[in-house]
Amino acid sequence: MPGTKLLYTALLAVFVPAILNAATLNGFIKDASDGESLPNTTIALPALKMGTLSNASGYYAITGLPPGRHVVVISHIGYRTQLDTLDLIADQALRWNINLSVESIRLQEETVIIADRLGEEFRQQTGFSVLQAQDMQQMPAVGESDLLRSLQLLPGIQAASDISSGLYVRGGGPDQTRILLDQVPLYNPSHAFGFFSTFNPDAIKDVSLYKGVYPAAYGGNLGALLDVQNREGNRQTLSGRGGLSLISGRLLLEGPIGTGAWMLSGRRTYLDPVLSAVRASGANVPSYYFYDFNGKFSQRLGPSDELVISTYFGQDVLDFDLDAETFFALNWGNRTLTGRWSHLFSPTLFGRFIAAFSTYESDTSLSFFDTPVLFDNSVRDLSFKADFDYYVQADHTIAAGLLLTDYKFTFRQTFNQRQQLDLNQEPWLMAAYVQDDWQATPLMHLRLGSRFSYFTAGQRLSLEPRFSLSYELQPGLRLKTGGGVYHQYLQLVTTEGFSGGDYWLPLDASVKPSRSYQTALGLDWEVSSRYRLSAETYYTDMDQLALLDNNTVADSEETRSTDLFVTDGTGYAAGLELFAERRLGRLRGWLGYTLGWTRRQFPELNRGRTFPPKYDRRHDISLNSSYRQSKWTWNLSLVYATGQAFTPAGARYTLRAPATGLFTDRALPADRNSARLLPYHRLDVGARRAFGLWGSEAEFYLQIFNLYSRRNEWFVQYDTDEPETDPKVVKMLPIVPTFGLDFKF
C-alpha cells in the first residue's frame, strides 16, 4: 500500500513537530496607541528562516524553535519594526505579547503616518484590497465620506449610478458580494435608498475586500467578500471623534474598562426639520431620517480568554403623506448582536467562538386612492460559529471552522386587503472548512482549503475547494494566483439603480443554487516602501444563475423560487486590473484601470441570446490622490468608465391592450442591453484644513462632487405619445458642493 504509506508520511510531516524538545513562541500583537489587535503582523526569526503571521485576533504562535538565543523581528507596514533577542529553553512555551508603535515617517517637512494593518494578506492573497479608514475619510464625497462609495473607486469595482452605493465587483451584481460587519452578515448595508452605506466611518477599524477567490473560511456568495471590522475601543484612554456634515451628525466615544475597552458610536441625519419646514410651506416632500448605532465591549478574562460583545442597529424611516387616502411609508433596517469568545487552548491552538444574531426588516405600506398595498420582508440569521487556528509548525498553520445558521425568511404582499404572497421559509445552513496556510519554501506561500456546506432548502450539499499561491520572484515582486468554487443559496431582489427596501429570499428546492468557478492570476510589485504596482487578471465562470423575473406575477398562494426567478442562467466575467499606488509622501493615492467583460445567458431572456448586464464596463479608470501641505490636505478623485448598457428601441408598432381594446403605440425593445449610454466621467475635489478646537484636533472640509457638473446618463425612456418616437435620457447628479467638520479628542 504505497499510497497509505505516503499519506502517513505526509501527515507525520505536518503534525509532528520537527525538533524534539522544541520551544514555542506565542502571544498577542497590539497597536501601542490604542490597544487594537493587529492581524497579519509578521513575526520572523531570520537566522532560522522561520516565521508566521498573526491571526484575525492578533494572535501568533511559532512552534518547533530550537532552544537558545534568537533574534526576533516583528514587522508590520506602517508600524515601527521591532527587534528583540529572546532566550528560549527546551520545551518552553513562551508567551510574548507585543505592542507595536505607529511609525512616523518624516519626508522633508511633512510627517506622514501610514498604518497598513492588512498589508500581509495583500501580499499573499490574490484579489485582496485594503482600504484604510483614514484614506476613506479623506476622499471627496457627497454629504459625507462613505465606505462603499470609496470602494467603488478601486479597480474592478463599479457603481450602478451616482445615487447607489451598491458594489458591482468584477462583473458580479451586488447580490454576489457578501458584506460582513464584525463577522456578521449585513443584508442591506444601505441608507437613503443606497445613497449612503450603513457603515459609520468613525467606527471602522479595518476594511478588507476580497474581489474574488476568497478563502475557505468564508462562503455563501458567488463573487466577492467585504469584511468590515469595527474598532474595539481605546484600551489606553478615553477618547472620541465625530463630525458634522450637511446631512448628519456623528459621535464616537471609546475608552478602557476593566481589562478591556468599550466603544459607542452613533449617527443620525438632521434633515427632518428642513423637510418639515418645506412641507409647512405647502410643498409635497416626504419626512425622512436614518440613524445607526455601533457598540462594542471587550474584556480580557485571563491570559487565555477574551470576550467581545458588539452590536449594530440602524433604521431608515420614510413617510410621504400626500392625501388622506394616498400615502407611502417605507422602513428598513438591520440589527446585529454578536458575542465572541476567544480562547487559547494551548500555545498552538487558538479558538474563536461566535454567536451572532442578525435581522433585516423592510416594510413598505402605501395607499393609492384608498387602495392599500403592503409589502414586508424580513430575514433573521441566527448563527453559531467556531474557528480554530492550529500552529502545527512554523511553516504550517491549519485553520478549521464550523458554522451553523438558522434562517427565517418572510415575504408578504397584500393588495387591496387580500394577501397575494405569503412566503415563509426557515432553512438551515451548515458549513465546515479546513485550510492550510503553508509556507512551502521561503519564497512560496500556499493556502489550500475546502469548504463543505449543506443547505436544508432543497437539501443542497456543496463542496468548494479553494487555493491561492504567492511566489516571490525577487524581493518585492510576487506572482499570485488562486481559484475556487463558490455557491450561493440566497438571492437578492433589488433594482440596478438604487437599493432600499431590498428583499432577500432563499432558493428553494425548485431552483439549484448558483455556482461560480473563479480563477485569478496577478503580479504584485512593491517597488519601494513608497510605490506599489500590480496587475491581475481574473476569469469567473457562472452557472445555475437565478435572476429576478421582472415579469413575475406575484399572486400565488404557494410561491416557489422558480416562480420568482428566471433560472438556469450561465455567464462569465473576465478582466484585467492594473493598479499603481503611491503610499508615502505628501502626494499619495492610486491610479487604477480595469478592462472587463461580463455576459449572461438565460433561456427565458432575450430570446435565449447572450447579453451584457447593465454594469458591464469595458474600460474603467479611476484616480484618487491626496496632497498634504502643512495644515491643508487636498483631495482629488477622477473616474472614467464606459457607458452602461441599456436596451434601445429597435422599432415602433401599434397593438391593442387586450382587455381594454385601446390601440397603443409602442416601442419595440431591441436585444437586451445592446446599446451603450455615453461614457461616464466625473471629477471630485476636496480640501481639508486641520486646526485646534478647544484643545482637540479638528478638520474643516469642503468637497465638490462632480466639479465640472458632467450630467452623466442614467437611463433612457421612450415616449410614443407623438408620431415621432422621443427618447428621453434621464441624467444623474450635477455638481454638488458640501462642507463639514470632523473632530477628534
Partner 1 sequence: MTHYLAWIIALFCACAADRQPGELFGPLEDDLVVVDVQLIVDAPLPPVHLSRTLAPGTTYTAAAAALSGAVVAIRQADQIIDYTEDPEDPGRYLPTASVATLPATLYRLEVLLTDGRQVKAQTHTPDRLQITQLLLLDEETLLPRRELKLFAELGEAVYYAPENQIFYQQGLLEARVAEEIDIPAYQLAIFNLEEDSALLIDADFLEEDDLAEFERKGASPPLAVRKGQARLPWFAVAFAGRHKFKIYAVDENWYDFIRTDPDGNGGGFGGLLGDQFQRPTFNIEGGIGLFASASVDSVGFTVLP
* Closer CB to partner 1, 398 or 677, in the complex: 677
Query: Which position among 495, 537, 570, 610 is part of the footprint of partner 1 (CB under 8 A)?
Result: 495
* Closer CB to partner 1, 422 or 541, in the complex: 422
* Amino acid (1-letter code) at residue 610: T
Of 202-210, 567-575, 676-684, 689-697: span binding partner 1 (CB under 8 A):
676-684
Binding to partner 1, residues 318-377 (CB under 8 A): 322-323, 325-326, 368-371
* Amino acid (1-letter code) at residue 675: A
Evaluate whether 131 touches 147 at the Cβ level (below 8 Å): yes
* Closer CB to partner 1, 106 or 418, in the complex: 418
Binding to partner 1, residues 389-428 (CB under 8 A): 413, 415-418, 420-421
Query: Which position among 671, 687, 693, 700 is part of the footprint of partner 1 (CB under 8 A)?
Result: 671
Please work out the total of residues on this chain that contact partner 1, with binding judged by CB under 8 A. 86
Least distance CB 652 / partner 1 (angstroms): 5
- Identify the CA nearest to 484 among candidates 517, 514, 513: 517
* Closer CB to partner 1, 2 or 658, in the complex: 658
Q: What's the maximum distance between 2 C-alpha atoms anywhere in the chain?
A: 94
Of 49-57, 149-157, 513-521, 663-671: span binding partner 1 (CB under 8 A):
663-671
* Closer CB to partner 1, 325 or 426, in the complex: 325
* Closer CB to partner 1, 450 or 674, in the complex: 674
- Spatial separation of the C-alpha atoms in residues 179 and 194, rounded to whole Å: 14
Task: Please report the sign of the dihedral spanned by the C-alpha atoms of residue 19, residue 22, residue 28, residue 33.
Answer: negative
Evaluate whether 643 touches 600 at the Cβ level (below 8 Å): no
Q: By CB neighbour count within 10 A (0-12 exposed, 13-18 middle, 19+ buried), where does 373 fall? A: middle
Tell the residue number behind the cell numbers 484601470, with chain if given. Answer: 593
| 660: CB partners within 8 A, 6+ apart | none
Burial 329-345 (b: 16+ CB within 10 A, else e): bbbbbbbbbbebbbbbe
Neighbours of 160 (CB within 10 A): 24
Residue spans of alpha helices (H) in 379-441: none
Neighbours of 674 (CB within 10 A): 16
Assess 683 for contact with partner 1 (CB under 8 A): yes
Least distance CB 173 / partner 1 (angstroms): 12
In the three-class reduction of DSSP (H, G, I as helix; E, B as strand; rest coil), residue 276 is classed as helix
Least distance CB 262 / partner 1 (angstroms): 43
Query: Which position among 255, 476, 669, 737 is part of the footprint of partner 1 (CB under 8 A)?
Result: 669
- Identify the CA nearest to 497 among candidates 159, 73, 209: 159
Of 224-232, 355-363, 495-503, 736-744: span binding partner 1 (CB under 8 A):
495-503
Assess 715 for contact with partner 1 (CB under 8 A): yes
* Closer CB to partner 1, 83 or 655, in the complex: 655
Q: By CB neighbour count within 10 A (0-12 exposed, 13-18 middle, 19+ buried), where does 61 fall? A: buried
Least distance CB 582 / partner 1 (angstroms): 14
* Closer CB to partner 1, 3 or 608, in the complex: 608
Assess 275 for contact with partner 1 (CB under 8 A): no
* Closer CB to partner 1, 444 or 621, in the complex: 621
Assess 87 for contact with partner 1 (CB under 8 A): no
Query: Which position among 15, 345, 384, 653 is part of the footprint of partner 1 (CB under 8 A)?
Result: 653
Assess 288 for contact with partner 1 (CB under 8 A): no
Assess 108 for contact with partner 1 (CB under 8 A): no
* Closer CB to partner 1, 49 or 619, in the complex: 619
- Spatial separation of the C-alpha atoms in residues 568 and 446, rounded to whole Å: 34
Binding string, 530-549, against partner 1, x = CB under 8 A? ------------------xx
Binding string, 578-617, against partner 1, x = CB under 8 A? ---------------------------xxx----------
Give me the DSSP letters along 287-314: EEEEEEEEEEEEEEEETTEEEEEEEEEE
Assess 716 for contact with partner 1 (CB under 8 A): yes
Least distance CB 317 / partner 1 (angstroms): 21
3-state secondary structure 249-263: EEEEEEEEECCEEEE
Strands (E), 560-618: 565-582, 587-601
Binding to partner 1, residues 421-480 (CB under 8 A): 421
* Closer CB to partner 1, 278 or 668, in the complex: 668
Query: Which position among 388, 627, 700, 739 is part of the footprint of partner 1 (CB under 8 A)?
Result: 627
Task: Please report the sign of the dihedral spanned by the C-alpha atoms of residue 258, residue 259, residue 260, residue 261.
Answer: positive
Radius of gyration of the chain (CA): 27
Assess 655 for contact with partner 1 (CB under 8 A): yes
Binding to partner 1, residues 110-149 (CB under 8 A): none
Assess 634 for contact with partner 1 (CB under 8 A): yes
Binding to partner 1, residues 43-82 (CB under 8 A): none
Least distance CB 208 / partner 1 (angstroms): 30
Binding string, 144-163, against partner 1, x = CB under 8 A? --------------------
* Closer CB to partner 1, 12 or 659, in the complex: 659
Least distance CB 361 / partner 1 (angstroms): 18
Evaluate whether 704 touches 735 at the Cβ level (below 8 Å): yes
What's the Cα-to-Cα distance from 537 to each of 214, 479, 519, 612, 703, rounded to whole Å? Answer: 15, 12, 8, 19, 34
- Retrieve residue 316's grid coordinates: 431608515
